[in-house]
Every structure is written in structure tokens, then in C-alpha cells.
Chain A
Amino acid sequence: MSLRGKTAIAGLGITKMGKNYAHSNALGFATEALELALADAGLLRSDLDGVLVNPGLTWGSDVMASYTLQQAMGIRNVRLTATTNLGGASAAALVMHAAMAIDAGMASTVACLFADAPLKPPRPNAKGTGGGAAYGFARGLDAAYGLYGANSGYAMVAQRHMHVYGTTSDQLGAIAVAERKWANLNPMAEFHREPLTIEDYRNSRWVAEPLHLYDCCLVSNGAVCVIVTSAERARDLKKPPVYILGMGQGHPGDDPVETLSSGAPMAKQTAFKMAGVELKDIDVVEFYDCYTITVLITLEDYGFCAKGEGGPFVADGRIGPGGSLPVNTGGGQLSAYYMWGMTPLSEGVIQIRGEGGARQVPKHDLCVVSGNGGVLWTHSTLVLGASA
């Protein structure tokens, strides 16, 4: 009764990313990404009977985002809808819900979507575009102690990882540099034209020490949509099917500052068992990378190296272009675009299809995609494949 290979991703829609003000709100970007995904798959909106949405920060009080999107797009007779939030683990979770519903006969073709619009167009006399403000709130004792921003939780984890395992700033920097090299090969990446050296990394300002600016993800406007359908149907559509071979989640409920670990070991076990694969079978890795430390810990948690050895593992550039383990081949959220879990998922779809252009990895039969939410609180895993 395994769901291995029963469903596939048949469509992918990615809007222009970053300081994109084509729409004034997240819903606007959502409609564009959904249209792009339908066109990519060769489907019409009337083919959809499922709409699953992970709203970003700026959907605000719209607690029924998926229905709002259905209305906005004039989609009739939807059989499956949900607005879901596991933070950055959501995108892969939406795909899981879609795959399970399709297998259960509850829906046939499901759009899974993330959209956000935290950046505002520059105004005269205004500093910046508000990306920091969107993620820089604090209240109560946190505010009294001067603890602001989403960066602090991961900075605490990074400092502790450095203390316990001897991880260095330059090792985190190696992740930032490797991902930037990938981004330099990806025309969709916000940092496509800007190289990054380890010296640039060291000289970049502290955001929350021990995290430099380039340890931290971008903040982006935009939306990404993937369309999930049965493997059978996907084979008749425009693009090569990206088969969903394995799916899993893990949410340990511990304090990651103490465990220095994520829910990946749990999620991976379920997903890899379903897919019938082992780590050595994986050709390309797309890991959630809100911060460099997230990538390092996720590499450890999947078993690419032992716990605590993530620093030396990444230090030699092996995860960059030309290295032995291609990780975050589009530049990730650090250097391409910040679409929460849709960033690694979208790049996984591109790589499996072989649409990666200059950044395409030569062997791309199997890809592992991770999602991660909060401060290593929630975790989701997908194993994607070129054949079922």
C-alpha cells in the first residue's frame, strides 16, 4: 500500500523573485504563480480540484487563504482545500497531503502554493524595503532584553554548536560561498550576478553574532506553485513527471539549542523507507536553508556526516558546483530566493526534470528535499525521482 511513485509533480510556477512589486499583496503573486504552474503542466484551472496554501507572513488576517485563492482564480468545484502552517516545513507537507488525498481518491489534481509580499516599494526618505521589519518584532521580556528578529534563535543554536563541536565561522561561510556559486549559475537567483568570497563573508556585518549577514536568508516577494497529480495522469502532461517516491515528517518537540538537531532523522526514516532508497543513492540535495547553520545541522541529521562533523564536511567546498555532493543547486534561500519550503522543492523539481541549465547536475535521478520550520522545530522530507 506504499505511496511510492503513485503521484508526481506535473507543474511548477515561479514568479520573478525578490524586490518584485508587480503585485501589491501575496494573493496577487499567488494568482500569477498558479497560472504559471498550470501553463507549465499544460493544464487548465478547470482541471484543478484541490488548492492547498501555505501563506507567508503577509496574508495577515486571511485565515482562509486557500479559499481566497480559489475565489480569486474563479476555480469551481474544489474537492480538497486547506491552509497549512508548519513554517518552512509546509511546502513539502502540502505535497504530502496532496499525494495522500489523490491516492485516496479525494482529489485528482492539486495546486500547492506559497506566496508572500513582505517587501514594500522604496519610498522617498524611507530606509530599506521593510524586509527586516517584517521579521524583526519582539515583545515582553524578549524586547526588554533586546532580543529581536528571527535570527536570534538560530544564532543561539550556532553558538552552541560552535561550543560543543568546535564548528567555526569560516565553516558556516563555506556554505554561504558554495550556495552563492550555485546562484551565480542560476538566472532566477537574486544574487545571480554577485559573487561571494570567504573574505566578503568574513567582512559582512554581524546580524546576530555568530551569524554574519551572509549566514542569513534573503527576504523575497513572490510565489511558487507546484501541481501534484497521479503518476498516470502526469505521464500524459507536458513536462516530465517528477515522481514522489517518499514522504515523511518529524517534529521532536525538544529544544534544538540543547539537542543541536532537527526533526530530520525521524522524517528521513519514514521518507527513505517509503522510497526504498539509501543516502548513497541520492544524486542531488535540496535542503531548507534559512541559515547556513540549518544546512550544516541538516547534513548531519540526514547522516551525510556524523553529528558534530558538519563543519569539516562542508569546509572543502564539496557541496558547491563541481563538488562531490551538490547541495542547494539553485543558490537556496541564502542566495536565490526566500520562498520558505518552496525554495528547495522548486529546485528539486527543476533538477529532476533536467531543466537546470548551467547549474544542472549531470546525474539527477534522485533528489532529497527538506523543509524546516521555526527554529528547527518542524521538519518534512520528500524523495523525488525521475522514474517511478
Chain B
Amino acid sequence: MAEIVRPIPEITPELRPFFEASKNGQLVVQKCNGCGALRFPPRRLCANCLSRESSWTPVSGEGEVYSFIIMHRVYHPAFATQVPYAVATIKLKEGVRMLSNVIGIDPHAIRCGMPVRVCFEKLNDEVNLPMFRPAADAA
């Protein structure tokens, strides 16, 4: 592994439950207590029903690649050894979409609609970053 790690996301108060769950290998998203809509990244206000009450709920971690791009340019030194790599919008089975990486596959073999499953990469003691692998690779 390269010495330079990817940028560590700040554990903001809003994202803390997400990273706490990730540490235990659990993917969670925010759930509106008003209408039940799932959302990620977290927000104070539900754009669907305007409720300010929310909680965090576990999701299956199964979904599909909704869209993706392949990055070739190195904007941060940590990615110098990673390019080309895939950044994807993942549509979870539960319907909510989230940004992530798809790993464990040649990025050029990725297709929209491809089934994927969550996995985690440990960046440090606090951050286990959720990523996705092809679901065909039975975990």
C-alpha cells in the first residue's frame, strides 16, 4: 500500500453516526422520522416533508451501479497509485443513492445496473470508508 492515504473525511457531528456504524461494518443512511424517506448525505431538513426529525437506519449494503465515472487525473497524491479508478453513484436496494468507489474490478468492466455489495476500507482507527464490490464476488 502507498504511504499517502486518501483524504480523511472530517467526522462532522452530522456524519458521526455514519462513521460509528461503518467502524462495525454496518452501512447506515439517514431516515426522515416524518415521512420515512431515506437520504444520504445527511441533512437537517427533509426536502420531501420538511420534517427536521431524523434517525439513522441500517441498509442492506446491496445495490447497483446507477452511474459512474473513471478518474484518470491525479488531483490528490493518494490517488496517484489508484488511477484509473471508478467513482460511482450507487443505488441501494432501499432506493437511496450514494456516492462511493467501486473496487475489485477493472473500472472499464463496470456497467450501469451492475449489482454491487458494500465493503469497507480502513483509513485509520476512526474511519472505515464504505466502498462497493461486484456482488458476484461473494463476500
Contact = CB atoms under 8 A, between A and B. Distances in A.
A157 B99 CA distance: 14
Interface stretch (B25-33, B52-60, B74-82): B74-82
Nearest to A148: B75
A210 B9 CA distance: 27
Interface string A129-173: 000100010101111111111001001110110011000000000
A152 B112 CA distance: 16
B68 A143 contact: no
A76 interface: no
A208 B70 contact: yes
Given A156-B69, A156-B89, A208-B71, A143 B112 contact: no
A315 interface: no
Nearest to B129: A144
A209 interface: yes
A140 B101 CA distance: 14
Contacts of A210: 69-70
Contact of B69 (A136, A141, A205, A208): A208
A148 B76 contact: yes
B125 interface: no
Contact of A206 (B7, B15, B72): B72
Given A140-B10, A157-B67, A163-B67, A145 B72 contact: no
B93 to A, nearest CB: 17
A207 B9 contact: no
A207 B73 contact: yes
Given A140-B9, A144-B129, A146-B76, A159 B112 contact: yes
Contacts of A255: 97
A145 B87 contact: yes
Interface in B106-139: 111-113, 123, 127, 129
A163 B41 contact: no
Contacts, number: 93
A344 B98 CA distance: 34
A257 interface: yes
A138 to B, nearest CB: 7
Contacts of A149: 73, 75
B112 A163 contact: yes
Contacts of A143: 6-7, 9, 76
Given A148-B75, A149-B73, A209-B72, A257 B89 contact: yes
A211 B15 CA distance: 31
B87 A257 contact: no
Contact of B9 (A141, A163, A205): A141
A159 B67 contact: yes
A257 to B, nearest CB: 6
B75 A142 contact: no
B35 interface: no
Contacts of B112: 159-160, 163-164
Contacts of B10: 140
A149 B66 CA distance: 20
Contact of A148 (B71, B97, B100): B71
B17 interface: no
A144 B67 contact: no
Contacts of A208: 69-73
A142 B79 contact: no
A180 B48 CA distance: 43
A45 to B, nearest CB: 43
B8 interface: yes
B72 A146 contact: no
B87 A206 contact: no
A215 B8 CA distance: 31
Interface in A108-144: 132, 136, 138, 140-144
Q: Which 3 A-B pairs have the closest CB atoms?
A: A163-B112, A148-B75, A209-B70
